[in-house]
Structure 1
Amino acid sequence: MLIVAALRWSDQRAAVDPLTGEVRTDPRGSGVSAAERAALEHALRLRDALGGRCAAVTVGPPAAEEMLREALAVGADEAVRVDGPDPAIAVTEDGSATARLLLAGLGKPPDVVVCGAHSVDRGTGSTPAFLAHQLGAVQALGLVELTAVDGRLHGVRRLDGGRRERVAFGTPAVCSVEAAGTTLRRASLPATLAARRALIPVVQAGTLPVPAGTAKPYRPRPRPLPIPAGSEPNQRMLALTGALVARTPPKVIRPATATEAAQALVDYLRDNGFTL
C-alpha cells in the first residue's frame, strides 16, 4: 500500500498588492504550514496501521527539499520533489495542474493521499478535489481526526456551528486534514543527520500554465448623467441631489400572518410597475 503525504511549499507571509492584485512572495519566508505537518503525521500513522510505504511529495523549487528532508527524518520511507515553477505562478494556479504534476511525479496511483486542508498562500483547498477526481477516489474534507480500523479509514469532519460528522470509507481515498492539535512527531538526531545526506529524487513532470493577462483592480464603468438644470450652482446641486423632490415616505407594516405579509409585498411590486 502506498500512502502519500502531499505537501505544499508556500510563502507563509505572502503579500498581495491591494491595487494591482499582484502576489509578492519571498523565498526566505517560505516553508510548510501547520496543516501540512498534520497531513504528514496522519500519513505516518496510517502507514504504521495499514502497512506499506509512506511517501512525501511536493511540487516546488529546490528550496522545498528542506521540507522533504524533514519528512524523511520523522519516518517517511521516500521523498520526491516535482520540479515546479516560480512560486508566484503557482499561487495563481487553480490546483488542477498541481494535482496532475503530483500524480505524474509518483509514477503509480497511490492508495491514500493525505493533504493539508488549505494552504497559507491560497486557502482554496482545491488541489485535493482535483487529486480525487483524477484518481477516481473518494474524498474526505475538513478532517480533524483520521484513523485506520480493520483496513478501513475512519475520520471526524468539522462542520459549521461546532458540529462534527463521523465518516468511514475505503481506498483509494484523498483526505484533507486540519491541524486541530495534531503535532508532527520529533525526529531523532541520527535520523536528522541521515536525512541531510539523503538524495532527494527530482522529477521533471511538466510545467504549470502561465496565467494569461495581467491582474487589474475592479473599477466599475462610469455612468453618464444628464446635465442638471439651472444657471446657479445651488440650483444644479438641488437638481443633482433631488433634495426638494417630493418623495414617498417609507412605510412600516406589521402583518399579523405570513399571508398578509406576502400580499403586502405583491401589492407593493404591482404598484411600482412590476408584472407578476
Structure 2
Amino acid sequence: MLIVVALRWIESLTSGLGAADECALEHALRLAEQLDAQTLAVTAGPEPAEAVLRTALASGIGDAVRVDLTEDETDDGSRVAKALADAIPAPDLVLCGDHSADRGTGATPAFLAAALGARQALGALSLTWDGKLLVERRLDGGRRERLAVGLPAVCSVEPADVRLRRASLPGLLAARKAAITVHKALSTRDDRITVERTRRFSPRTRRVPPPEGAEPHTRLLALTGALAEHDPPRLVHPADAKAGAAELLAYLRQHGYLE
C-alpha cells in the first residue's frame, strides 16, 4: 500500500506547513505504521517549497517529490491537482489539509480526487483503519458522521486534536541531506493566446438615483427598503437533483433573471 500526503507550501510560515497539513501528515504516519505501508510526501512549488518535504522526511515519511511550479501557478487548485496527479504513482490513499493558512479555496483535494479517479472524503476529523478506512466528519448541530471509504481515496483533514510528532535529531539531520525528486509539470499554457498586459478590473460606477423624501428618516427608509414588500422566505425539499434544478430555474424566471 502507498500512502501519499500532499502538502501545501506557504512561504510566510516558518516551517512552511499549516495546521491542517501537519494534521494530515501525522495521520499518514500513523496509518503507515499500522498498515506497514510505503509513504510519500509531495508538494508543488519552487525550490524553497522543499522545506515542507524535509519536514515530512524528518517526521518519518519515506520519500518526497516536488512538482516544479512557480508560486503564481500554485494558486490554481485545478492546475496543482493535475500536476500532483501526474507526479505520484497510483496511490492507494492521499491525505491533505482541508484548507491552507493563506486563505486558499480548499478545492485542491476535490480536484485531486477527480484527477486520480479516486473516491473522496473531505473535511475529516479522524481517520482510522479497521479492515477498511473509517472517516469521521463534522455535521451541523454538533453531530458526527462516520464513513467507510473504499480505496483508492483522497481525504482532506481538519486540524483537530491530532498534533504532528516531534522529529528526532537523527531524522532532522538526515532530512537536510535527503535527495528530493523534482517532477517537471506539463505546461497547460495555450500558445495561441498571448497576454500583453494585465490590470486590476475596475467596474464602472453605477449611477443610483437619490432616495425620495424630504425628511432624513423617510430617505433612510427608502435606502434600506424597510417598507418595501418582499417575498417571504420558504423552505423547499426537492425529491432529487432534477427537482431541485427545476425549482431554482422557476425562481429565476419568476424574478426576471431568465426569460
Is TM (by shorter chain) over 0.5? Answer: yes
Counterpart of 1:7 in structure 2 is 7
Deviation sequence 1:179-227 (CA, Å, 0-9, x none): 10211111111111111111111111224659977463554543386xx
* Cα distance, 1:88 vs structure 2: 3.4
Q: What is the identity, as a one-letter code, of the residue corresponding to 1:223?
A: R
1:132 aligned onto 2:117: no
1:88 aligned onto 2:69: no
Q: Could you tell me which of 31, 50, 63 is aligned with 2:35?
A: 50
1:141 aligned onto 2:122: yes
Q: Could you tell me which of 80, 83, 87 is aligned with 1:101?
A: 83
State how far apart, in whole Å, the 2-side matches of 1:251 and 1:5 are: 55
Identity fraction in percent: 50
* Cα distance, 1:30 vs structure 2: 7.5
1:119 aligned onto 2:103: no
The answer on whether the counterparts of 2:66 and 2:183 sit within 8 Å (CA) in structure 1 is yes
Counterpart of 2:236 in structure 1 is none
Specify whether residues 192 and 214 from structure 1 end up closer, same or farther in structure 2 by C-alpha distance, changes over 3 A only. Answer: same
Specify whether residues 37 and 244 from structure 1 end up closer, same or farther in structure 2 by C-alpha distance, changes over 3 A only. Answer: closer
- Map residues 143-162 of structure 1 onto 2, 5 A cutoff: 143-150=124-131, 152-162=132-142
Specify whether residues 207 and 121 from structure 1 end up closer, same or farther in structure 2 by C-alpha distance, changes over 3 A only. Answer: farther
The answer on whether the counterparts of 2:73 and 2:80 sit within 8 Å (CA) in structure 1 is no
Displaced runs of 4+ in structure 1, greater than 4 A? 207-213, 244-247, 249-252
The answer on whether the counterparts of 2:122 and 2:155 sit within 8 Å (CA) in structure 1 is yes
1:216 aligned onto 2:197: no
Counterpart of 2:24 in structure 1 is 39
State how far apart, in whole Å, the 1-side matches of 2:91 and 2:53 are: 18
- Map residues 228-267 of structure 1 onto 2, 5 A cutoff: 241-243=211-213
* Cα distance, 1:161 vs structure 2: 2.8
TM-score by length of 1: 0.70
Tell me, what secondary structure is at the counterpart of 2:91?
Answer: coil
State how far apart, in whole Å, the 2-side matches of 1:90 and 1:38 are: 21
Q: Structure 2: state its 5+ residue gaps.
A: 229-254
Q: What is the identity, as a one-letter code, of the residue corresponding to 1:51?
A: D
* Cα distance, 1:242 vs structure 2: 3.3
| 73-82 vs 206-215, greater mean Cα deviation | 206-215
Tell me, what secondary structure is at the counterpart of 2:127?
Answer: strand
State how far apart, in whole Å, the 1-side matches of 2:187 and 2:136 are: 35
Q: Structure 1: state its 5+ residue gaps.
A: 14-28, 226-239, 253-273
Specify whether residues 7 and 224 from structure 1 end up closer, same or farther in structure 2 by C-alpha distance, changes over 3 A only. Answer: closer
The answer on whether the counterparts of 2:4 and 2:28 sit within 8 Å (CA) in structure 1 is yes
State how far apart, in whole Å, the 1-side matches of 2:186 and 2:56 are: 24
* Cα distance, 1:120 vs structure 2: 1.8
TM-score by length of 2: 0.75
State how far apart, in whole Å, the 2-side matches of 1:84 and 1:163 are: 40
State how far apart, in whole Å, the 2-side matches of 1:215 and 1:116 are: 32
The answer on whether the counterparts of 2:15 and 2:51 sit within 8 Å (CA) in structure 1 is no
